[in-house]
Amino acid sequence: MPVGFPEFVQNPENRCPVILLLDTSGSMIGDAMNALNQGVNLFKENIQADTKAALSVEVALITFGPVKLVQDFVTIDQFTPPTLVADGVTPMGEAIEYALDLLKTRKAVYQENGIQYYRPWIFMITDGAPTDPWQDAAARIKQGEADRKFCFFSVAVEGADLKTLSQIAPADRPPVLLNGLDFQSLFVWLSKSMKRVSSGRVGEAVELPPVGWGQVS
């Protein structure tokens, strides 16, 4: 086993990787950012309360405005939710490509260490429109989805550019418009989904809970 990854010796469970790709641009300042921070904390609490999910779910957190890796992949017990602060513009294209590259690197680590993993999730939340080129990122998402390399979810907070988001998101998983600032229900849903995925078999299709926190655009 390669040196440097003792976590796989201590915990050889199948991994369920999820990237939280969060818009922290200036327009998120105030109530939206406060609600988002509370939601991320709730996600950790709910996953950690489930013994199986706590061993399997690995979370990475990337913010954009500017693009920053706030937390590389760790199991939920090692994840300390940060206090996110709104600032900057919305380099969504760069952020998505960064997330895809980070995921590719993590999957290679799993493979090198003989760790099986469930299909990863990339979960993007935004209230704006891209301020940089996004077409290449969209093409990579569509190809990755077609190759079943990951699942890409996009959540639109009020004010988001749904027309562009619909072009970025896979056709069979369009953006979901969040009900107000109900990040609490969103992250409860996300944690329930992760629990269902991590309790199944690798490669097995899982029925996700109903989306009660938003409207499909």
Q: How confident is the model at residue 2 (pLDDT cuts 50, 70, 90)?
A: very low
Stated length of the chain? 217
CATH architecture of 7-216: 3-Layer(aba) Sandwich (3.40)
**Owner of token pair 């078999």:** 201
The structure tokens listed for 24 are 């922290």
pLDDT computed for residue 183 by the predictor: 97
The helix/strand count (H/E) of the chain reads as 7, 7
Mean pLDDT across the stretch 194-214? 91
Task: Work out whether the CA dihedral 165, 187, 79, 18 comes out positive or negative.
Answer: negative
Mean pLDDT across the stretch 90-109? 98
pLDDT computed for residue 4 by the predictor: 62
pLDDT computed for residue 76 by the predictor: 95
Residue 39: which residues within 8 A CB-CB, separation 6 or more? 183, 184, 186, 187
Radius of gyration of the chain (CA): 16
Name the residue with higher pLDDT: 205 or 20. 20
**pLDDT tens-place string over residues 8-44:** 999 999 999 999 999 999 999 999 999 999 999 999 9
Mean pLDDT across the stretch 118-139? 97
pLDDT computed for residue 6 by the predictor: 84
Q: Quick count: other Cβ atoms within 10 Å of Cβ 129?
A: 18
pLDDT computed for residue 22 by the predictor: 98
Q: Is the model's pLDDT at 1 over the cut of 70?
A: no
Q: Which of 119, 134, 124, 137 is nearest to 56 (CA)?
A: 119
The structure tokens listed for 87 are 């600032």
Residue 98's identity, in one-letter code, is Y
